[in-house]
Amino acid sequence: MRNNVDSNQAETIYFNSNGRLVANNASFISEQDTLLLKGYTWFYNSLVAGNVDFIWGYPVTALFEDSEIRTIGDSKDGDPTKDSSDGYVLQARVPVQTDPGFIFLNNRFTHGPGPIGNNVLDNSTYIAHSGGSDTYFDNVTLINNKFDTHIATSGWAVQGVNSQPAPNPEIATATSGWREYGSMDLAGNTLDLSARVGGYIMQDSDVVNLLERNAIFASFNDGQGWTPEPLAIPILPDEPIAITPVNNSLGFAGYNFSLTGGEGGSVVTVDNGTALKSALAQAK
């Protein structure tokens, strides 16, 4: 939990690599700085929860797809009856202006109670704010996502909002900065984005190469590309599978022999029951 004395950063993952990270059907729950990312990462059918910059970092490409991005009540003031406000989902520090950075495709931005039980006020959470440096870029792209009522109608924490600095670039374009396309409420109704401040509203032609994984990760491995695929969800039987009882008196292989050792014999090392049974059969 957060407090007003100590450092409150608590990453569940710090992916400090230029390689690849895949998270399928996973949950990452903290408050501040839940995910710190670099390199190429793909989060699919997963939950990421927090309240302050809980997705941030220096990625080449970080794709969040078909997942839940949940802002939770802040525990910092220690009052479970006081719903929190002024949270931020993202802070992007993308090293190269032309790199995609953070891409959110077909997700749900929700809210819920935090560790002490308080929730999040309506119209109080900003999609992103900037670290305020010209040495990295605030590249965030939102495509066909659904937003709950906690997200501020203005969307982005531009310069002056809660004393925030200006993003880089300060004026977003189709290829860099804060960008948005096809946003909806949780019921699937199109959001009116005319009240957004500081972001770029993308057109159909702007998102053509940002709708499929192979295009999004095309720069991986010097342009060889990467197309990650979802892991299969295990299908569990309706009834437990019967397990054959183990006869402990026969050892872990369930097999016994009477053997007589002698000088000059050979040594056989095994690491499973099948190999042990084979070795015993040859030795008897």
In order of their start, the domains of the chain are: 13-223 (2.160.20.10), 248-283 (no CATH)
* Residue 1: pLDDT over 60: no
- 223, 25, 178: which is closest to 42 by C-alpha? 25
In this predicted structure, the answer to whether residue 259 has a pLDDT above a threshold of 60 is no
Those residues whose C-beta lies under 8 Å from the C-beta of residue 64, and which sit 6 or more positions away, are 43, 46, 48, 55, 102, 103, 104, 105, 107
- Name the β-bridge partners of 146: 108, 184
pLDDT reading at 181 higher than 70? yes
pLDDT at residue number 6: 64
Q: Which pLDDT does position 44 carry in this prediction?
A: 98
Query: Across the chain, where does the E strand assignment appear?
Result: 13-15, 20-24, 27-29, 35-44, 47-50, 52-65, 68-72, 87-92, 101-105, 108-112, 125-128, 140-143, 146-147, 178-181, 184-185, 200-201
Residue 241 is predicted with a pLDDT of 72
The predicted pLDDT at position 245 comes to 67
Q: What is the pLDDT of residue 77?
A: 85
* pTM strictly above 0.75: yes
What pLDDT is recorded for position 41? 98
- The number of angstroms, rounded, from the C-alpha of 272 to the middle of its chain's C-alpha atoms is 38
